[in-house]
Amino acid sequence: MEAVVLKTDPGVIEVGDAERAVLAAVGARLLERPCPGEEELLEHGADAVGILTLDEPLSARVIAGLHRCRVISRFGIGVDRVDLAAASAAGIVVTNVPDYCVEEASDHALALLLALSRRIVALDRAVRDGVWDTAAVAGPVRRLRGRRLGIVGFGRLGRRFAEKARALGLELAVHDPFVAAELIEAAGARALPFAELLATSDIVSLHVPLAPATRHLLDRAAIATMRPGALFVNTARGGLVEETALVEALGDGRLAGAGLDVFETEPPPRDHPLLGLPNVVVTSHSSHYSLESGAEMRARAFENVARVLAGREPLSAVTAT
């Protein structure tokens, strides 16, 4: 039987001759079929030796039906839509591309931080509406230098974001239970427990993956402990935050503003309460985006598949190989 690699996204990731050639070199052919749900994945993936996926639901039920699959390759970083335990039990290697957009995502988080602190969006709209009154539109704006930025998660993205934010004169605090305090301090930041970071930071930015242990990491109780008037930035995953509690904190002024690139449901409904708040800046899960990062992501995702099919180690594995 011919070796087929199924690409499941609905045409978001464009593929060229170079990517097809990578598969052809290991005797595989690319099959592109949109698979928005489990039934389509089961229909088209039953005989595939590899899966290239963006955000499709690779549940335990789906994985049980992938009879020939040896590798699931994610276009991107997060693998929260893949049942990793089921894949491991089935002997399927799960791979991702963990660092293709470190520059873009850290730039984007910094851009949201600056847009919030300098009230860029509100001032832009006011000028377009004929209003030329900085204080009335912007409200109280604080100088960034000397204020504390709390970074939750100190992996590749968190570290790069810290490097860039330091140039603004911000005092850096970090919470990451998987990184030694000595390494955090060597990077010019102060290691803090999560509760202390929330209570003492003027700005909080999330840079952690979404997993069962981190879902609603910033829940109602955690948000209630945040410093009054703090700014909040999330370019990681929407599921890290209890959105109803965030809406309340922003609506009643306990938090001064939020910059959000991610939501629990994407795209969010047009009547989502966060979209109606004037102190919220939103973007369309676009912190990863650039021409360079897209090309790197595609190339490495295909390379991961080809390496596993050839019996070699992938460039980056999430499960054991």
Catalytic residue among 43, 185, 266, 292: 266
Task: Specify whether 285 is catalytic.
Answer: yes
Residue in 121, 123, 145 with CA at minimum distance from that of residue 134: 123
The two structure tokens encoding residue 297: 């992501």
Whole-angstrom CA distances from 238 to 146, 190, 213, 243, 291 are: 29, 26, 14, 8, 24
Please list the alpha-helical segments (H only) found in the chain. Answer: 17-24, 38-45, 60-64, 84-89, 102-117, 120-128, 134-138, 156-166, 181-186, 194-200, 220-224, 243-251, 291-309
Is 32:7 a contact under the CB 8 Å cutoff? yes
Task: Specify whether 237 is catalytic.
Answer: yes
Peptide bond into 193 cis (omega under 30): no
Catalytic residue among 44, 70, 148, 237: 237
Residue in 305, 291, 312, 240 with CA at minimum distance from that of residue 94: 305
The two structure tokens encoding residue 159: 């570290």
Residue 226: CB atoms within 10 A of its CB come to 21
Catalytic residue among 20, 147, 285, 296: 285
3 state DSSP class of 149 = strand
User: Any idea which residues carry the catalytic annotation?
Assistant: 237, 266, 285
